Amino acid sequence: MKKIVIVDDHKEISDLLERVLNKDNYNAKAFYDAKSAIKFIEQDCPDLVLLDIQMPDMCGLEALNIIKKLNPKIKIIMITAYAERQNYNNLFENGAIEFISKPFKLKDIRMIISKVLSSSDTEYRSKLKNKGIIIGQSEAIKKCRNEALKFSNNDAPIIIYGESGTGKELLADFIHYNSVRKHSRIVKINCAAIPLELLESELFGYERGAFTSAISSKKGKLEEVHQGTLFLDEICDMDMKLQTKLLRVLEYKTFERLGGNKEINSDFRIIVATNKDILEEVKKGNFRQDLYYRLNTFNIIVPPLRERKEDIQCLVHYFIDLFRKEYVTTVKKISDDVCKILKTHTWPGNVRELNNVIQRMISVAHTEEIEIEDMPDYLFEENELDNSEYWKCKMLSMEELEKKHIINVLKKVKENKKEAINILGISEKTLYNKMKKYNI
């Protein structure tokens, strides 16, 4: 029988957990302060400790360190408040294997305890490594990330608003992997990318013979997402007929496959995303009002990249590191001039556009540092030229421009003169004369 120690200064919470876990065939014992719990652990080593962070006399983080020194094999689940969860990496670094935030459901804490006790620390953490990362330190993205954390452990629906390319799907991942459902799947469907008939069968599944090509039964996404998270992107593009069926599923969490009459239960959390104003779509008659009210418990707006330009540099570094794992390349960074130009662009395609630009520049660059010459021409279009740093770099005399160009070419070919004269279209003698003239 697995031994569990519960440490929480709220007596009613500790006593409730003790009763519930003992009924679940664990040997559970409750304590109302960390010092008493530590004395007990010194004498009788448990398999697991449920440890609240905010307690008088000794905080949970201090108790965590002491317990891990007593026996590093003891698994510890931290019970946290939302504000503390913003620094949950510190908990993992100090030895905690998991956290759950208040208020929580008994079924959730039971599920987490079961999974933690049935797997090793390494196995448990490896499943969640690097899932749902939000890059950036701007105030706009911090607000977005904090709201996502605040709502993540609640089962209520979330609407994510944002322009195309801002990272709405990534935010859905972030919410899922910071929720108690993170050990189950997040199932994603783009409502705009699938025709109505296919979308219906994709969601609900079908029985054999439901339609001409249904030669065998097939599970739908609603069935597959049981205990996980369903993410519906571009929800405003869903057909009204399907909206009606979705509303019923959200109300009762039951449905039937196409061509079937067996009622199937599915416990899932729904997150939807759109780049449209849903209320405006309701007024136009394109979206069901009752479905909107059913979905609109929480909503989060993902800021466009033009409103968080201070994040561009860290996003660039992230994408470079990402592409370096895929490409054989010498590129490690971008020049200051390139960084300045990237910050002046309006980024209508948002983070997705930036990602594509970095991929393109890595493909054409030949040195460790991406230079202006590696940038796509469209970044210098006329509507951006007046204030562009590009002109500060390029408003040079012909001689200055020629010198800069020769230096850049030589740098790219690693001082290989034969390659340089082929690129420049000049003779070897002319190249040496130019180098002497410009003291290169």
pLDDT band at 11 (very low <50, low <70, confident <90, very high): very high
Within-domain flag for 133? no
pLDDT score, position 334: 93
Within-domain flag for 188? yes
Tokens of 433: 């004369």
Range scoring the smallest mean pLDDT among 52-66, 238-252, 359-373, 405-419: 405-419
Tokens of 123: 């196995």
pLDDT band at 282 (very low <50, low <70, confident <90, very high): very high
Mean pLDDT of the chain: 88
Same domain, 232 and 169: yes
Same domain, 149 and 267: yes
Let me know: does 38 contact 66? Beta carbons within 8 Å: yes
Three-state SS letters, 81-126? CHHHHCCHHHHHHCCCCEEEECCCCHHHHHHHHHHHHCCCHHHHHH
Q: Identify the domain boundary among 283, 301, 319.
A: 301
Count of the separate structural domains present in the chain = 4
Same domain, 335 and 436: no
Same domain, 78 and 112: yes
Better-scored residue on pLDDT, 348 or 387: 348
pLDDT score, position 82: 56
% of the chain beyond a pLDDT of 70: 92
pLDDT at 424 over 80: no
The neighbour count for residue 385, using CB atoms within 10 Å, is: 12
Same domain, 17 and 93: yes
Within-domain flag for 65? yes
pLDDT band at 91 (very low <50, low <70, confident <90, very high): confident
Listed ranges 187-191, 338-342, 388-392; the one with the highest mean pLDDT: 187-191
pLDDT at 104 over 90: no
Q: Identify the domain boundary among 393, 410, 430.
A: 393
Same domain, 8 and 105: yes
Same domain, 311 and 177: no
Q: What is the CATH number of the domain that holds 317?
A: 1.10.8.60
